[in-house]
Amino acid sequence: MTMGTFASLTVVATGHASLDDPADTARRVFDALNSALSAYLPDSDIARLNRAGTNTVTLGPAARAVIEVCREYHALSHGAFDPTVMPLVRLWGFSGAPAPRNLPTPDAIADARARTGLAHLEVIGTDARFDRDGMSIDLGGIAKGYAVDRVYEELLRAAAPPPILINLGGNIRCHGARGKRHAWRIGVRNPFDHEAIVGVLELPDGMATATSGNYERFVTIDGKRYSHIIDPTTGFPSTGMAGVTVLSVTATEADALSTSLFIAGPEAGARMLADRPRCGAIFIPDRQPIELWITPAFDRRFTPAPALASHLHPIR
């Protein structure tokens, strides 16, 4: 357990001895990043920033690096990806806040929305501060992917690294192949049936995948489900998608994009991928019968479950 989820490491090797080192390395890197980035640990850089109001806080290299990457995906997603949505996330009962019994009022939503916006976070050198009161940041949409990349880099410093699959709560990156003639293969979960997959994604050497789903964490108000991903423009939990899985060249990008594309949906989402030829996605709308909207780069690596082959919708 680390970063609030399960981590696992799969190593193709022939003896026990060769397995201990990668596991220790992964544990060390994940735990160090959790200590710096967790909004829950009171001594983390992020928790200190969230308590500081508009005072200046000194950030370590990991927090600064992740915030910088956030700005990139904030811009790419036209603001959909915004880690300062924390006040809204909490208003809707996530990130440790109690689940609301009624829908938040328009005033409460407007108030929380006024305290969001990545532009209100200044970082100069090692100094960070919010230029507005009541703000806070939550790296839950990107930190796991970032951590997987740091473990990946650390493990690849070995002289002849064995084939490896790193998985932190569905944020996955691989090195090499599972076997001489087989790429690593990842089952893409069916958002409507936890026991089933919609198909299998082949993960080429060095590449990464991540999934955002409305079934992972949600609150129920008046019998309706609300997901943990907030659309910053409405202040409401994002609706429309049940699950989005991304294929990308880094786990950081896969993680940031899966959250962004979950909000954007297939059309706007596919446009965000236009300059990224190796990057693709599958979008599963939150409606029945199931539809699998798939971009070309994802399609090339994806084998649908036989029963769902006729539900594929290529996005051109």
Site residues, Mg ion (CB under 5 A): 141, 255, 258-259
Residue nearest to Mg ion (CB): 259
Cα–Cα distance measured from residue 257 to residue 69, given in angstroms and rounded to the nearest whole number:
11
Question: Residues 48, 79, 172, CA angle at the centre, nearest 5°?
Answer: 70
Indicate whether 89 belongs to the interface with ligand AMP (CB under 6 A).
yes
Nearer to ligand AMP, 177 or 249 (CB): 249
Residue 136 binding target from ligand AMP, Mg ion, none, CB below 5 to 8 Å by type? none
Please name the residue that has the structure tokens 């809707």: 92
* Minimum separation from the CB atom of position 268 to Mg ion (A): 17
Mark the segment that binds ligand AMP (CB under 6 A) among 25-33, 136-144, 178-186, 273-281: 136-144
Cα–Cα distance measured from residue 47 to residue 59, given in angstroms and rounded to the nearest whole number:
11
Cα–Cα distance measured from residue 90 to residue 148, given in angstroms and rounded to the nearest whole number:
26
93, 117, 140, 266: which one contacts ligand AMP (CB under 6 A)? Answer: 140
Cα–Cα distance measured from residue 81 to residue 63, given in angstroms and rounded to the nearest whole number:
17
Contact track, ligand AMP, 230-269, x by CB under 6 A: x-x----------------------x--xx--xx------
One-letter amino acid of 155: L
Indicate whether 82 belongs to the interface with ligand AMP (CB under 6 A).
yes
Cα–Cα distance measured from residue 205 to residue 7, given in angstroms and rounded to the nearest whole number:
20
- Phi first, then psi, for residue 96 (nearest 5°) are 85, -10
* Minimum separation from the CB atom of position 107 to ligand AMP (A): 21
Indicate whether 214 belongs to the interface with ligand AMP (CB under 6 A).
no
Q: Give the list of residues 6+ apart from residue 54 with CB closer than 8 angstroms, or none.
A: 129, 130, 131, 132, 133
Cα–Cα distance measured from residue 14 to residue 152, given in angstroms and rounded to the nearest whole number:
20
Residue 230 binding target from Mg ion, ligand AMP, none, CB below 5 to 8 Å by type? ligand AMP
Interacting residues with ligand AMP (CB under 6 A): 80-83, 85, 89, 94-95, 138, 140-141, 212, 228-230, 232, 255, 258-259, 262-263
